[in-house]
Chains A and B, each alone.
Chain A
């Protein structure tokens, strides 16, 4: 068919290509503008600030020096905390969220699916701050420790520990992990699963060879979103860590709102972004190399 219509189709193809280009440009224009004004411009500000110096009364003073960058190791503890707790939190979210996403995409009946899906997210219409305060109650002196105390296990401290922060993290980031995995599992053709079963593969083999690879894009998306956002988190460590668990996000809040050292804060921010970029690129290269389908990767 294509050979027969080739000579007739050529001008149409180039025409389509031209209007195609226009269309592409039109589709990309709004987001391009948004990216420029609300991402590039503010980041340029951060970059300029990062080579400045702290004004005597706090804030930014124009200058050109790399001292702030050379001084980054002073915040090493914060970087270390974040780089250990963020991957851990992501892993727990994945292990907790995948089964739920699987249940919703594959096992739930179509009638209930939308409701169940939205029920995952409805708690998050209750205000993050109020929910976190509920956790402060649950993990604080009147909550679980009180129950444990009644059972004879006294003096257990949950609140203001890394454990409490981890609880808060998993609780807050679960839907962010569940949704992308759900989206990629949802288009899984159930007949593939049936076929696999008919061919004699056990459920685990089916999962490993069919479901897992097909849901890989969703897993990658979910993990990346959660991990990246975790790196910048500061409210959960502050509220559930009682000011004792110090993420890079907390260091940034301190530098901008307490120490008023905006240039140094900007340098720390830039350092954070660079670390994230490097991590994400390595991660994507690694997953592409392990044989994920070309179109499955996002870059």
Chain B
């Protein structure tokens, strides 16, 4: 019965997706009226340089912010186990606040804070910089990655700490007694146990950043991320081209997933034998 429920759940998750895929092959103009089968929208997507640029931006931002967040978040989660008192309280509070603050608020607040800081910094840089083209700070890759990393890092801290909280300490203690080197303990006992949480954190934060519209809308400056591009396209009338974009991205992710799974299987195959 649990299996039946899970199938239902997956159908629920993929229902709208199948709709999107179906309409991406619509030969008509509207994304609501299926008129016939055609792949022309995919050709259009391939030639849409603005969309491709937005996609590239999104990928770079998502990967960088997820990597940074996972690294810093895991480090912080580990460190917070060794800390008590006010420091821990402050970090806990900051972590929750980072997650709690609505995207719209942090988006606007970060924008205003960064614009003000950049203005001041740029005036200083312009005066002290040697030469004719002083370094000037702008909203762009730096600001989006930074803003996304904040929320993502807090998310990773929460997830990894939940895992650490339920971890079997006796294994770690035993390892510490057996090995003199805490680094080895970490690498061979703690880290593998934490891996699922770390991977879950990376995946989740990559997804969050790749799909984020609200924060990016404010701090991206002149850059277009894919959600920003999609949103302004949707405003101009939904054509099946949007569906084609969505389908293409999903197909690409599935391909990556299956090739990763194949690679992993091949790696572990000798062990199994």
Q: Interface of A with B (CB < 8 Å)?
A: 1, 20, 23-24, 27-28, 30-32, 34-35, 37-46, 49, 96, 99-100, 102-104, 107, 114-115, 118-131, 133-135, 137-138, 140, 142, 171, 174-176, 179-180, 182-184, 186-187, 214, 217-218, 221, 225, 228-229, 231-235, 248-249, 252-253, 256, 262, 265, 269, 272-273, 276-277, 280, 295-299
Contacts and interface: CB of A to CB of B under 8 A. Distances in A.
Given A35-B150, A127-B230, A27 B159 contact: no
A137 B32 contact: yes
A178 B102 CA distance: 21
29 contacts: A1-B177, A27-B75, A31-B73, A34-B72, A34-B146, A41-B117, A45-B112, A100-B6, A103-B6, A121-B203, A121-B204, A124-B211, A127-B246, A129-B227, A130-B20, A130-B243, A131-B16, A131-B17, A131-B20, A133-B238, A134-B17, A137-B19, A138-B19, A140-B32, A176-B204, A179-B204, A229-B99, A232-B105, A248-B102
Contacts of B158: 221, 225, 298
A225 B15 CA distance: 25
Given A118-B203, A127-B226, A228 B166 contact: no
Given A31-B72, A184-B166, A232-B100, A126 B246 contact: yes
Given A232-B105, A299-B92, A41 B113 contact: yes
B43 interface: no
Contacts of A273: 97, 100-101, 105
A231 B102 contact: yes
B39 interface: no
Contacts of B78: 27
A123 B17 contact: yes
A100 B5 contact: yes
B41 to A, nearest CB: 13
B104 A253 contact: yes
Interface in B243-266: 243, 245-247, 249-250, 253-254, 257-258, 261, 264
B166 A125 contact: no
A174 B13 contact: yes
Contacts of A182: 200
Contacts of A298: 92, 158, 161-162, 165
A31 B165 contact: no
Given A114-B261, A252-B104, A126 B213 contact: no
A122 B250 contact: yes
Contacts of A137: 19, 31-32
A168 B253 CA distance: 23
Given A120-B13, A121-B203, 9 more contacts: A28-B83, A28-B91, A43-B97, A127-B246, A183-B197, A184-B166, A231-B100, A252-B104, A256-B104
A263 B76 CA distance: 34
Contacts of B231: 129
Given A31-B153, A131-B17, A277 B96 contact: yes
A228 to B, nearest CB: 5
B5 A38 contact: no
B97 A30 contact: no
B31 A232 contact: no
Contact of B105 (A27, A125, A135, A252): A252
A218 B150 contact: no
Contacts of B203: 118, 121
B27 interface: no
Interface of B: 2-3, 5-6, 9-10, 12-17, 19-20, 31-33, 71-73, 75-76, 78-80, 82-83, 87, 89, 91-92, 94, 96-106, 108-110, 112-113, 116-117, 146-147, 149-150, 153, 155, 157-159, 161-163, 165-167, 177, 193, 196-197, 200, 203-204, 207, 210-211, 213-214, 226-227, 230-231, 234, 238, 242-243, 245-247, 249-250, 253-254, 257-258, 261, 264
Nearest to B149: A34
Contacts of A183: 159, 162-163, 196-197, 200
A184 B162 contact: yes
B58 to A, nearest CB: 10
A232 B257 CA distance: 32
A249 B104 contact: yes
A22 B230 CA distance: 46
Contact of A122 (B204, B254, B264): B254
B249 A127 contact: yes
A268 B94 CA distance: 20
A243 to B, nearest CB: 14
Which one of B6, B98, B153, B257 has the highest number of Cβ atoms from chain A below 10 Å of its Cβ? Answer: B6
Contact of A280 (B13, B100, B211): B100
A295 B100 contact: no
B72 A135 contact: no
B165 A295 contact: yes
A27 B5 CA distance: 42
